[in-house]
Chain A
Amino acid sequence: MMPHNSYISNSSLTVPLQYISSQGEPLTELGGKNELPDFVNDKALLLQAYRWMSLTRAFDQKAVALQRTGIIGTYPSSLGQEAISVACGMALEKDDVFVPYYRDHGSQLVRGHLIEHLLLYWGGDERGSAFGPASDMPICVPIATQASHAVGIASALKIQQKRQAVLCTLGDGASSKGDFLEALNLAGSWHLPVVFVINNNQWAISVPRHIQSGAPTLAQKASAAAIPNLQVDGNDFIAMYEVLTEALQRARQRKGPMVIEAISYRLSDHTTADDASRYREQDEVDKAWKNEPIKRLQNYIFQRGFWDKNAEGCLQDDCQTQIEKSVMAYQRIEAEQPEAMFDHMYQSWPDVMDDQVVECGEKYKRNFLTPEYQYSGLK
C-alpha cells in the first residue's frame, strides 16, 4: 500500500502528525488540514490493528498478574503504547528485520511470536528468544545498543544487495545514549535502509522527558545526521501506520534512513518492580488515560460502522481464551537441564573446559539430589 501523503519531506509539520482526535473523530471534521489516508477505508486492516492492540493489552494485564503471583519475573508493561507497537508489527514486511527493545510485546505478537514464548522469556528462560521470525533480533535490554546492531544489519542488507528494511525501536531515555547518536551518524553517513522509532512515553523509569534532553523534540536529533525525522501522535494508530509504512517503503527503495518520534504515555509503572507513584502525580496519569490509543481507535471504528458491541464482547472473550490457553502451554514447558547452560556458549563447548560440565552435573546432584537424574549430553 502506498501512502498518499509524503510527510518525510514535509518540513512544515510543527505539531505531531495526528488524524483522529482522542474521541476518535477525524481531525478534518474539526478543522484539521491533513486528509485521512486511503487505508482508513480498509475495514479489515483497521479491525486487524484493533484486535492486535486489544490482545496486547489483555496480554499485558495477564503478564502483570502472573508476575504478582510469581509465575513470571519482572515485566515491563506496554500499557498505553499499543498503537506504536502494533503499527510497527503491521508495517513490517515478513522478511524485513525487526530490532526491538523490551517494551515491544505488541510488535512481537504481530510478528508471529507465541504468547507462551513471550512468557518463557519473561519467565527467565533463554528459549523465549529462540523463536520468532528467523532474522529478527531478540528484545534488547542494554539501553540503545540495539541501534548499533540495526545499522550493522542494515549495512549487511545493503552489502548483500537485499531490498529489506530494518526497523529499530527505542525509548525516550535511549535517545540520550551515545549508541543511538552514533547509530544515527552511521546510518546517515552510509545511507542505510533503517528506520528508528523512538517510543517517547515521557518517562525513563523516574526521569521525565524534560530532564532527558533540552532538545524541543527527540526526533530532531536525527537532523544532525541529515536523517529525515518527524513527530507522530503515537496514540493514533492511523498516523503511526501511515508514517511507518512510508518510512519502511522508503528504506526498501534505498532512499535512506528515517527517525520517527512517537509521542505517547507510559500509563503503567516502568516495570512490575517499579512504583511510579513515588515520582509522578496521579493527575498526570489520569489526563493521559484520556488520550490512550485503544479507546480512540475503537471510537473511530464504531463511528465508521466497522464494529459493534457484540463484536467487542466476542473479541474480549477470544483474547482471554487465547491467553489462558497460552499460559497453560507455558506452564507445561519444563525448565532445561542444568548443563544446558553450556550448550550454546560456543558452537561446540571447548573440550579443554569439559571439567566444568562434569562439575555442573555433580553440583546438581549435590544440591537437588535425584538418583535418576542423568544428563543427555552436550549437543
Chain B
Amino acid sequence: MNDERLKNVNLVEAINMALNYSMSHDDSIVMLGEDIGKNGGVFRATDGLQDKFGCARIMDTPLAETSIAGAAVGMAVAGLKPIAEIQFMGFIYATLEHIICHAARMRNRTRGRLTCPMVLRAPYGGGIHAPEHHSESTEALFAHIPGLRVIIPSSPARAYGLLLAAIENPDPVIFLEPKRLYRSEVHEVNDNGQPLPLDRCFTLREGEELTLISWGACIKECLAVVDQMNAESGSHDRIELIDLASIKPIDFATISDSIKKTGRCVIVHEAAKTCGVGAEIAAYIAEHLMAYCKSPVKRVTGFDTVMPYFRNEQHYLISELDIKAAINTSLNASF
C-alpha cells in the first residue's frame, strides 16, 4: 500500500490527488469538461493530468454542457468511467435532462442490463466574490432525483476519500465541491487510495446538548462555533457537529442516534430555505424523533432570494454569529 502522507494539502489539491490516483489505477477512467486539459481547469482541479494521462483520457470538450453530460452517459454505458466537470454549478442546468432522464434511470429502465457509472463534478456555493450565476447552491435539485447520489465534501481528506468512493461507485454520482473551501485551509491527506464510505455522515465533534448538522462550506463556520462553545462549556462538550457529506442518500441512522442523545437540532445550509435539504432532515425528525426533541428543530439557511451579487453576498451567507444565535435559541427553547 502506497502510504504517502502529504501535509499542507488544500481541498482542490486533494481533488487533484484523488483524480490522479484513480486514473493511475484504472485505465477505464476518462475526464471530460471545459478547460480541463492544458489549462488544468479554471480552479486547477485537473492541473497536470492531461500531461500525465494524455488528450485521449483528459478531454477538453467544446463549450457545450449538454454534450458533456450526454457524452458521459454514452461513455459510461459503453464501459468507460467518465468523470465530467461542469465549470460552475450555475451552468449545470443544461445537463439536467441527461442526468435525470438517462444517467439516473439507465440501470432501472434496462433492469440492470446497462449501467451508468459516472461522476459529475462541479464547484458550487458562494463567498468567493464571483460573478452572477457563479455562487448558487442547488444540491437539493439533484437530491430529489431517484437513482442519483449527491456528495459534498468539506475538508481536503474527505474530498480525497469521498471522490475516490464516488469514482468507484457503480452508479451516477453528483460530486459538488464547495469552492469557498478550495484553498481556505490545508490539512494532511494520505494519498493511499483509501475511499471513504458513501451514504454515511461524519461526526466531526461529539457533544451532549445539541446536534448541529451542516455540509459544504458552512462546515467551516460551524466548526469555529462548535469549538468555541465546547471550549467555553467546561465540564462537557455541549455541541455535536455532523457533516452530512452524503446529501443523497442521507444517513439518518447517525443523525437519529445523535438526536436521541442531545434532543436538540440545528441545521445549517447555504442553499435557499424552501425545499432545501434541511427541510428533509427536519421532516425526518418530525416523523421519527419528536419524542426525543426538547425544542423545535431550527434551520439556518440562505433566503428564498436570488443569491445577491458579491457586493451584498455577506448579507445572504451564513455567519458564525448566525449559527451561534440559532444554537442559543434552540438551547433555551422548549415545547
Contacts and interface: CB of A to CB of B under 8 A. Distances in A.
Interface string A142-181: 1001011111111111111000000000000000001100
Contacts of B66: 148, 178-179, 182
B115 A347 contact: yes
B39 interface: no
Nearest to A156: B78
Nearest to B106: A138
A151 B70 contact: yes
A137 B101 CA distance: 14
B197 to A, nearest CB: 11
Count chain A CB atoms within 10 A of each CB in B69, B107, B109, B114 and give the residue with the most.
B109
Interface string A330-354: 0000000000010111110011110
B74 A148 contact: yes
B201 to A, nearest CB: 10
Contact of A152 (B70, B146, B147, B149): B70
B71 interface: yes
A214 B74 CA distance: 30
Q: How large, as a class, is the contact surface on chain B?
A: 35 or more
Interface string B160-185: 00000000011100000000000000
Contact of A347 (B56, B67, B107, B199): B107
Nearest to B146: A345
A148 B107 contact: no
Count chain A CB atoms within 10 A of each CB in B71, B72, B114, B169 and give the residue with the most.
B71
Given A153-B77, A352-B250, A182 B67 contact: yes
B98 A148 contact: yes
A126 B105 CA distance: 11
A153 B171 contact: no
Contacts of B73: 148-149, 152
A185 B63 CA distance: 10
Given A153-B75, A159-B56, A186-B62, A346 B147 contact: yes
A52 to B, nearest CB: 24
A138 B74 contact: no
A217 interface: no
Interface of B: 30, 56-57, 59, 61-62, 64, 66-67, 69-80, 82, 97-98, 101-102, 107-115, 146-147, 149, 169-171, 199, 249-253
Would you list the 8 A-B pairs with minimal beta carbon distance, nearest first? Answer: A152-B74, A148-B70, A152-B71, A156-B78, A130-B111, A149-B74, A153-B74, A350-B249
Interface of A: 97, 99, 126-127, 129-132, 134-135, 137-138, 141-142, 145, 147-160, 178-179, 182-183, 185-186, 189, 341, 343-347, 350-353
17 contacts: A130-B111, A130-B113, A135-B78, A138-B109, A149-B71, A149-B77, A152-B72, A153-B74, A156-B74, A159-B56, A159-B75, A159-B80, A178-B66, A344-B107, A344-B112, A347-B170, A347-B171
